[in-house]
Chains A and B, each alone.
Chain A
């Protein structure tokens, strides 16, 4: 891995990032020479109309997808063209995901869903129980540990999803419209949780349509047609 020169506090630096989607007849530009820098410990919101490239950006930042052109430096490592195996390895140790639709596994209980990332990173069983209980407690969902996702409310499901995202103590959390499927009260709870995590040092990047939610962040990046058109620093 070749370390690239970046400032100490920079976690993510993307430069001239491009992503195209091709069908047989049409080529769509999802990201158009996009350059962004995010510092460790920041809480950044990404906003923009549908189709502006928010989710594509989030997928690339989360190493779920790779860019067609440009550079992506994560913690000083150029990852733009990593193999899937390398990306998966980097991802599972560093990044947690929170989705609008929670994406819990229906066949597993709350406890098992949260435990899953620890299994994949090879944490021993006794340690896993401790850490899952710890995080469930923190998310105030401990009493639901043996329930299945379908038995929970949306707010509870999202808590479980967040618990699962943080159980591995990731440096970065990527949230894709985390309150999109929740009522405002549950939505606020989730935003509080994310703010807490950020205050404890976790970097958070959140895609949202909600100006209300965006206000919880330090900085808003607004995208249009795959380009950053404006940045607001929140005070």
Chain B
């Protein structure tokens, strides 16, 4: 019996090649999209699960309450972890991670490494980082010991068997390699190229490990299995009261600690993580995958039920001969499962082919091949399920035909069936149009962000990064002068950071309108005298820093407009001359700079101040001529090698670097677009099948109409109209849905476009045009056919 089913299924597929092709291609493409997204989603949800203690690891987060805001940070202060473990027996272990950057020297090769970490030995106990060489239990015990990842070991020494060898940090500090570990898995929420023992940091006197108010490090704790972190969290207010007495806290500040399970860290966009995912994107893509699959399945249902008239005769005969309903249902389900299996094989090949591209698009390697992790078996199960789900309705429809009607030859598609097919086409196009609108809006927003004036000059700004090297800082003025001598370089300035690259946040006290000193967390830009004019920033009140005023380098502050607004001043002018204390520096506000975007446009501009501080400079920005950038760059590099031979030449362009912040959105937009194209492609494939079938069925009608005098355009119009209607209805349903979806997406951006009406018009017209070109081909062919032929064929 099964053999018979297979036989008839294959012969049927072969006889109706074009329908089979549409079905298989549609399903295969849908499955491929679905498989790739499935792997992406699985990867996103797999973060940190490689850790054996996954369920027991927790991160310690802090809310810092200042008098005028609450900062939700993902860090804690250095004494918190060890004290927590000492106070609470349920804390089995704690490890602190301090991000660091050093100039690393090995065999006279120098590398500026910015992804290093100081950490406690217990990190290797809490997290699962398998060692290739060395002993994880002791590797980070002693000061000046470091553990390298496999990749950095190979980079410095060309091999991994290097325990006992040394490296030099920042040109002076020798450290010994005590272990080489496997590279940090890609699905880890934090990664590093080298771990340095935390005792090194103490020896180097980089930080006061007993400072309760410095929230600069991540802290992880290990809790017993099954222990609810919230139970510990409930005890933390008392813990803080006990250890941080009023006098140890900054005035008006208060802290609250939170225990966050490791499973939530990667997707925590609220507090953030070094490597951050976005649950919303995971949902969006899961929905898109389901949509695309749905569209492909709808094709299958539509084409199969549309063809039911043809299959009806077979059903009738089989019933007469003795086939039961169950046997027929099994047969048709079997057929659809066979189709889905063929589509599955095609989609496995397609997925393998596209995976490298998809990895590139996703910005990370979500999977090396679809065979790993047993993905293929899960995908196989999904494919069978698709075959089953797509086949069940047509199977039921086909087997429910009444034999006598079929055998009388009076069988036609039921009104209900036609209505359903049209309804499903509407669903397909609704999804497609929503995706088109989404794509346009995502791209508009990206363009808007890229082209928005940021409040400072971004073009032809070459940034040279010396990572705060103190010898460079000491000679910054003369070095800047040297660089401006290079042909093509127009001017130079120094600053601690550049917009888009992060900055310090400093506890400050500023005089408010009523004369009292108000504590404010200020974003801090340490700059030199040339920074403001060179960046083209606009002073709206007071003045910029000037070498003419001796106090400017010690007592003067320039603040942004948001600071002025937050302090309650109605006019920028009113803020000039007010008292300002920050990190031991006491002085006054000398000027107000127009707000500029030092973070991405997703964020509102926050209070910020600039101050002169040559000891905190990290980069030089060179304004260069547009003409011959490569040559200018080469000349600057040669100069660098002469002036700063101790450091590798490291540079970036300000605009490119700033736009890097939108990489996630960029990828999101691209993926969205590709899937929108896929969705509309599969929808059109279905429409093509349905249109050709419907014209085929109306061959006689068309013939009669032509004999009676219908014109070719008239017939094309008649045949196309019926489908265009559906696209029109789809558009009406899609527009509000798309608006709602994209409105909610845009909410994440502080600076955003308004959703314009033309976006919907474009999407609607686009969908309409694609549908017309799909249907018209069939319609024209039918309309041009000789009516004598079509009437004879009856």
Contact = CB atoms under 8 A, between A and B. Distances in A.
A91 B403 CA distance: 13
Given A64-B320, A91-B322, A120-B327, A103 B313 contact: yes
A115 to B, nearest CB: 8
Contact of B8 (A62, A108, A115, A164): A108
Interface residues of B, number: 25
B323 A120 contact: yes
A34 B391 CA distance: 43
B15 A64 contact: no
Nearest to A125: B3
Contacts of B4: 108, 112, 115-116, 119
Contacts of B409: 101
Nearest to B12: A107
Interface in B750-773: none
A40 interface: no
Interface in B312-341: 313-314, 316-325, 327
Most buried by A among B8, B316, B323, B407: B407
Contacts of B781: none
Q: Is the interface of B mostly helix, strand, loop or mixed?
A: helix
Given A64-B403, A88-B324, A116 B313 contact: no
A104 B7 CA distance: 16
B479 to A, nearest CB: 84
Interface string A97-137: 10101011111100010011101110000000000000000
Interface in B288-333: 313-314, 316-325, 327
Contact of A105 (B1, B314, B325, B404): B314
A59 interface: yes
Nearest to A119: B1
Contacts of B316: 103
Contacts of A65: 403-404
B11 interface: yes
A84 B328 CA distance: 14
A88 B318 contact: no
Contact of A103 (B15, B322, B404, B407): B407
Contacts of A169: none
B321 A164 contact: yes
Given A112-B4, A119-B1, A64 B404 contact: yes
A79 to B, nearest CB: 15
Q: Which of A62, A97, A104, A107 has the most CB of B within 10 A?
A: A107
Contacts of B319: 64, 88
A85 B324 contact: yes
B405 to A, nearest CB: 10
Q: How large is the interface on A (under 10, 10 to 19, 20 to 34, 35 or more residues)?
A: 20 to 34
Nearest to A161: B317
A107 B314 contact: yes
B416 to A, nearest CB: 16
B408 interface: yes
B321 A85 contact: no
Contacts of A64: 319-320, 403-404, 407
B447 to A, nearest CB: 55
Interface string A76-99: 000000001100110111000101
Contacts of B8: 105, 107-108
Nearest to B324: A88
A186 interface: no
A55 interface: yes
B324 A59 contact: no
B322 A107 contact: no
Contacts of B403: 59, 64-65
Nearest to B403: A64
A89 B317 CA distance: 15
Contacts of B325: 84-85
Interface in B1-38: 1, 4, 7-8, 11-12, 15
A226 B367 CA distance: 72
A92 B323 CA distance: 8
Contacts of B404: 59, 64-65
A59 B322 CA distance: 14
Nearest to B320: A97
Contacts of A59: 403-404, 407
Interface centre among A91, A112, A119 (most CB of B within 10 A): A119
B320 A116 contact: no
Given A97-B320, A107-B11, 6 more contacts: A64-B320, A88-B323, A92-B321, A108-B7, A116-B4, A120-B324
Interface of A: 55, 59, 62, 64-65, 84-85, 88-89, 91-93, 97, 99, 101, 103-108, 112, 115-117, 119-121, 164, 168
Sorted nearest first, the 9 A-B pairs with minimum C-beta distance are: A92-B322, A120-B322, A107-B11, A117-B321, A64-B403, A65-B404, A103-B317, A59-B404, A107-B8
Interface of B: 1, 4, 7-8, 11-12, 15, 313-314, 316-325, 327, 403-404, 407-409
12 contacts: A62-B320, A64-B404, A65-B403, A92-B321, A92-B322, A93-B322, A97-B320, A105-B8, A108-B11, A120-B321, A120-B327, A121-B322
